[in-house]
Chain A
Amino acid sequence: MTVYAAPGQPGAIAEYRPRYDHWIGGEYVPPSSGQYFENPSPVNGQPFTEVARGNAADIEAALDAAHGAAPAWGRTSATERANILNKIADRMEAHLEEIAVAETWENGKPVRETLAADIPLAIDHFRYFAGAIRAQEGSISEIDEDTVAYHFHEPLGVVGQIIPWNFPILMATWKLAPALAAGNAVVLKPAEQTPASILFLVDIIGDLLPPGVLNVVNGFGVEAGKPLASSPRIRKIAFTGETTTGRLIMQYASQNIIPVTLELGGKSPNIFFSDVAAQRDDFYDKALEGFTMFALNQGEVCTCPSRALIQADIYDQFLGDALERTKAVTQGNPLDTDTMIGAQASNDQLEKILSYIDIGKAEGATVLTGGHRAEMEGDLAGGYYVTPTVFEGKNSMRIFQEEIFGPVVSVTQFGDFDDAMKIANDTLYGLGAGVWSRQGDVAYRAGRTIEAGRVWTNCYHAYPAAAAFGGYKGSGVGRENHKMMLDHYQQTKNLLVSYSGTKLGFF
């Protein structure tokens, strides 16, 4: 067990600056308004740094820098860009522990997750896209003996990216790595709940990129995000967040006729078929862990397995064991490596979760465990903690239909395969799902029937590069985490070339 010292405390391995300006054109630039906003840690509710409050003028300055850098960056060889991405990965690896502590302090998630998942995955992601861009090839079509169509991948130019707060560095990396690999310059707007950890990372890797290739402007959505998303000076916008903002972003994009990629969340079913409980073995143990994955990252994951569907004949027994597993989740100081669940990322997030617990009870769902704010002591008393909560109810209830984005799972039972599929697909969303069965055919058929972009089969919450991630239905547009994301950051140049010396004869 290790307890890391908090940034700002003696012995801390990660220190935030007292203030962060915008990162524009390879240097820190003060906000044009001169205004900053306080950035509290959800661990204790106390501000630990202040961050530039960006506006439309700051976005314009960042776009100027990006447009200045994009042409030369877009002409670099794939080798050159891949080498830079690999250097970014190496530099992050050398500073992994401090980046992990910094992200935990800003987001509230347990440091064991940032150490073992967020940051290692981000590092690997840069390496994956370094490899993918090196291996990418254009194509040739031989139209006839004298005519050839060449297809080249060309970057879009300057792109905008709006990043969520639940995995501040990993989600930024999911968008940055393919965009940079493809040769685009980026203006990135972090979430206002987690504006500083990405700049903590920029302090470590910023010198590796030519000035202006990566620009970071912080601020509130309405003041900084909107001018970026609606700017006619971007050639693409990528957004992870929720549905109404996703619609607004598509609306702005339609006005500028640019492509969008959207990742908008879900209400993922996690389905446990009878045979899971056929034996009390390692697989059964793994399935119980799979159930408890709703508490990972405090439930603040777009793919949180927030609906558990358990087959009727094992329902009581499996749920009993799952409750026991849930009660064993250790909640505490996120900087303690033994802590399994930390703090919700913000006060309003906490309030929203509690309001959903209220409506769940009002609709007649039963709280089987948790169901309240976790009152912490000492330094953590001001933080935003919720006890892992298991509800039992019906799929028509709002707690089964809406993304709570907290450590709350709603459990129901199903009779047979068709019943399971009906419940699983009775949702507006289709981002993730989990299927647990010892029978390959059952798991396969379930996976193919569920309307979701990612079906974890006998596993959950793994996010390796090379496994495409994105939504069906209301969950968005596009596939991240895979080389196919390069297509979303490139356009195709076709040279249609005639090698014939004779005219067609039309004129």
Chain B
Amino acid sequence: MTDDTISRVAVTDAAAGLLARLRRQHGELMFHQSGGCCDGSSPMCYPDGDLLLGDADVHLGDLDLQDETEDRPGAPRDEFTVPVWMSRAQFEYWKHTHLTIDVVPGRGSGFSVEAPEGVRFLIRSRLLTDEEWERSADAR
């Protein structure tokens, strides 16, 4: 776990909606940011627990989401969480940036669960603001 109080990850509405649909199909989900070639440098979405995590990984944060369950009008919103992870070594080079998980039309993604939908999760990045950086554990 990164030992700081700032938010490092976010999700677009389009990606949040897709995650709710994928969760109905696959159960609880997780993200692990990939590096390397081909489909790499992209977030991989798996059924939670599929990828074994360990000391080599950093927990960037959780996406707190809601399944609006359109098919059950009046039903309470179903809240769920998708944790986002990255390898610790990779985080060293990423820690000054904030990541937003988006989705684009596309094809191919290792074993990430969204590919059969004809879409691909994508990371959009911005630099942490000075204020965020001051509050982050890495600045200390």
Contacts and interface: CB of A to CB of B under 8 A. Distances in A.
A221 B40 contact: no
Interface in A160-174: 164-166
A220 B40 CA distance: 16
Contact of A264 (B36, B44, B116): B36
Given A221-B109, A244-B51, A247-B51, A358 B36 contact: no
B122 interface: yes
B106 A347 contact: yes
A244 B122 contact: no
A246 interface: yes
B38 A222 contact: no
B44 A244 contact: yes
A461 to B, nearest CB: 15
B107 A348 contact: yes
B8 interface: no
Interface in A203-222: 220-222
B93 A396 contact: yes
Interface range on chain A (Cβ under 8 Å from partner): 35 or more
B134 to A, nearest CB: 18
A212 to B, nearest CB: 26
A165 B109 CA distance: 11
B89 interface: yes
Interface range on chain B (Cβ under 8 Å from partner): 35 or more
A241 B126 contact: no
Interface stretch (B12-20, B27-35, B62-70, B71-79): B27-35
Nearest to B90: A428
Interface string B39-54: 1111010100011100
B37 A266 contact: yes
Interface stretch (A310-318, A398-406, A489-497): A398-406
A246 B110 CA distance: 9
Contact of B34 (A244, A251, A355, A398): A244
Interface in A367-423: 396, 398, 401-405
A266 B36 CA distance: 6
Contacts of A302: 36-38
A405 B106 contact: no
Contacts of A349: 106
Contacts of B137: none
Contacts of A428: 35, 89-90, 93
B36 A226 contact: no
B36 A246 contact: yes
Contact of B115 (A221, A355, A404): A221
A248 interface: yes
A355 B125 contact: yes
B111 A164 contact: no
A301 to B, nearest CB: 8
Contacts of B89: 428, 474
Given A242-B36, A264-B37, A362 B127 contact: yes
Interface string B88-102: 011001100100000
Nearest to A230: B111
A355 B33 CA distance: 15
Given A405-B38, A429-B36, A192 B94 contact: no
B82 interface: no
B36 A403 contact: yes
B93 A242 contact: no
B2 interface: no
Nearest to B35: A243
B39 A241 contact: yes
B111 A226 contact: yes
A165 B37 contact: no
B123 interface: yes
Contacts of B42: 242, 348, 352
Residue picked from B32, B40, B50, B124, most chain A C-beta under 10 Å:
B40
Nearest to B85: A244
B37 A248 contact: no
Contacts of A405: 37-38, 40-41
A40 B46 CA distance: 26
Given A251-B51, A348-B108, A362-B127, A403 B40 contact: yes
Given A220-B115, A221-B110, A221-B112, A363 B127 contact: yes
Given A165-B38, A398-B97, 11 more contacts: A222-B112, A222-B115, A229-B111, A241-B36, A241-B37, A243-B90, A245-B39, A346-B107, A347-B107, A349-B106, A428-B90
29 contacts: A166-B37, A191-B38, A220-B115, A220-B116, A223-B116, A226-B111, A240-B37, A241-B110, A242-B34, A242-B42, A243-B34, A244-B40, A245-B44, A248-B46, A251-B52, A265-B40, A266-B36, A347-B104, A348-B106, A349-B106, A351-B122, A352-B122, A359-B125, A359-B126, A398-B94, A403-B36, A405-B41, A429-B35, A474-B36
Interface of B: 32-42, 44, 46, 50-52, 87, 89-90, 93-94, 97, 104-113, 115-116, 120, 122-127
